[in-house]
Structure 1
Amino acid sequence: MGLFSFFFKNNTQKIKAFLEQNAVILDVRTKQEWNEGHIANAMHIPLSDLKNHVEEIKKLNKPVIVHCKSGARSARATKLLKFYKIEAVNGGGLADLKLLIA
């Protein structure tokens, strides 16, 4: 089990609770990665541009499940959102999150 898989498993209950609260799924991968496939109805904001969209995310007034390809960028994005008082959880990598929400 990889490091990010370990942390993802520890977030599973929180992710499920967020899903019950109609959470926003935020994909912080690059545009190219997004175009290669993504979760339906997910919001796409690359990590490099996330800081410019904090107010937009706050206005949604919903918890946020953040994911990327492996979990590293989503960990950074989750930390940033929490700094701005947005309720967020690291959803890990795309493949893991798809399995959880299926």
Structure 2
Amino acid sequence: MEVAKIIKEKLGTIVDVRSYDEFSGGHVVGSINIPLNEIPKRIDELRTLKGPLVLCCASGNRSGQAQLFLTEHGIESYNGGSWLDVNYHQSKIE
């Protein structure tokens, strides 16, 4: 599924995997913050979120790592790349 479509049609949840400090400095409205290093211990919480998950971070590197981990654990997720890119897609919602 295409990330832009998931965001535009509000089909899933946006998860920002940056640190709490980075997230508090700016983030996508409506996204939740679960830092990359907390993903493994919060896997049960992630399973309860409306899927698919769109993951974002600063550049797409950490969200890519999270996406690989979550996919290996059976959670449908997509690397949205930079939170600014995800924010751009969300800004196009009418």
Alignment-derived partner of residue 52 in structure 2: 63
Is the contact made by 2:12 and 2:50 (CA closer than 8 Å) also made in structure 1?
Answer: no
Give the structure-1-normalised TM-score: 0.81
| Aligned-partner Cα distance in 1 for 2:20–2:51 | 24
Is the contact made by 1:64 and 1:87 (CA closer than 8 Å) also made in structure 2?
Answer: yes
1:41 pairs with 2:30: yes
| Aligned-partner Cα distance in 2 for 1:17–1:37 | 23
The 1:96–1:61 alpha-carbon spacing in structure 2 relative to 1, beyond 3 Å, is: closer
| Aligned-partner Cα distance in 2 for 1:32–1:60 | 23
Deviates further, 19-28 or 78-87:
19-28
Can you give the 5+ residue segments of structure 2 that lack an aligned partner in the other structure?
Answer: none
5 Å-filtered alignment, 1:11-26, equals 14-19=2-7, 20=9, 22-26=11-15
Alignment-derived partner of residue 27 in structure 1: 16
Number of aligned pairs?
90
> What is the percentage of aligned positions where both structures have the same residue?
30
Render the CA deviation track for 1:4-53: whole Å, top value 9, x for unaligned.
xxxxxxxxx61133232521000000111011011111110000111111
Alignment-derived partner of residue 74 in structure 1: 63
Q: Which has the higher helix share?
A: 1
Can you give the 5+ residue segments of structure 1 that lack an aligned partner in the other structure?
Answer: 1-12
Ranges of 4+ aligned residues in structure 1 off by more than 6 Å: none
Give the structure-2-normalised TM-score: 0.87
Shift of residue 96, structure 1, vs aligned partner: 1.3
| Aligned-partner Cα distance in 2 for 1:55–1:48 | 15
